[in-house]
Amino acid sequence: MGNMQLVPDRLLQGDTIGIVAPASPFDRKEFDRGVAVLKAMGFRIIVPDDIYIKKGYLAGPDIHRANLINTFFADRKIKAIICARGGFGSMRVLSLLDFESIKKNPKIFIGFSDISAILSVLYTKCGFVVFHGPMVTSLGDASKKTREALLAAVSSDAMLAIRPKTGITIRHGMASGPIAGGSLTTLCHLVGTPFGPMFKGHILFLEDKGEACYRIDRMLTHMKLAGCFDGLAGLVIGSFKDCGSVSEIIGIVDNLFKEDNIPVLAGFEVGHGKSNITIPIGLNATLDTDTQLLSFHKSATSNQQKVRRSEGQKIRRLED
């Protein structure tokens, strides 16, 4: 699983991004602000007419939400897919995704929070790199750092390196492996399903929002007892917003991983905090607690667009 690491095509100026809503309905004003940010970055945006459907706490029926994803993966004109928002309901579409078709059309897929379920499954079932990053409704008032990190991940050849502003080393050491992870609550709920996460050999990052400390303890314990952390290479702790004090969270993690001889580093601005740095899931990285750095071994996208660009120039020349 970790070795395939198929990286999707890099986004170029003028490329088309499709927006999907696999989870909850969203605020229209926030959505429009986020769309404006993506357009200002130089991308064309496709918003499906029926993306605004609501069904209780879901953005429409399960099959409708799954079909938007299936359709956009199959559409060659669309070079990247970004989710409108998280919330609830991503798990309900997993069994409706057309993995055979998706596998044939790897492309950039971006989301976080409840969308962690889809990120995890696209990586495990299809073997390509996906992006844990801001969504449309959070982009409108996202920090400059958040926007720049997203652009760097999906449209540059930079080898990303992330150093937390205030890193806290819980366990010293250094480890390498592909990155996996996302919302603790969402990943915990995948345990025991056909889409259950296994992180052997991986550097795992976790974040969450609005969960009491005893619940975080219970979820981590559940995953530990289920064997999810067997053979883990390293652990990265992102933001745990409104989840109790940082020291409490660190205490829980410290306690649960005390027998594991793996590097554990907290303080990353990943998740529901003020900044949400984009993390490519499935990409090999090295975690070093001495330098407090998570550094990726190659860029998160591939440069096949050079071919696209030159083909475009050929076509233009012929038209001239």
Separation between Cα atoms, residue 261 and residue 173, nearest integer Å: 8
> Cβ–Cβ contacts within 10 Å for residue 305, how many?
18
DSSP 193-229: STT----TTPEEEEEEES--HHHHHHHHHHHHHTTTT
Which residue in this structure is represented by tokens 């449309």?
Answer: 136
Separation between Cα atoms, residue 187 and residue 287, nearest integer Å: 21
Query: Of residues 30, 207, 211, 269, which has the active-site annotation?
Result: 207
Q: Which residues pair with 62 in a beta bridge?
A: none
φ, ψ (nearest 5 deg) of residue 313:
-65, -40
269 counts as catalytic: no
Query: Of residues 30, 64, 90, 113, which has the active-site annotation?
Result: 113
Query: Of residues 132, 189, 202, 272, which has the active-site annotation?
Result: 272
272 counts as catalytic: yes
| Helix, strand counts (H, E) of the chain | 11, 14
Separation between Cα atoms, residue 84 and residue 30, nearest integer Å: 10
* Amino acid identity at 141: D
Active site residues: 113, 207, 272
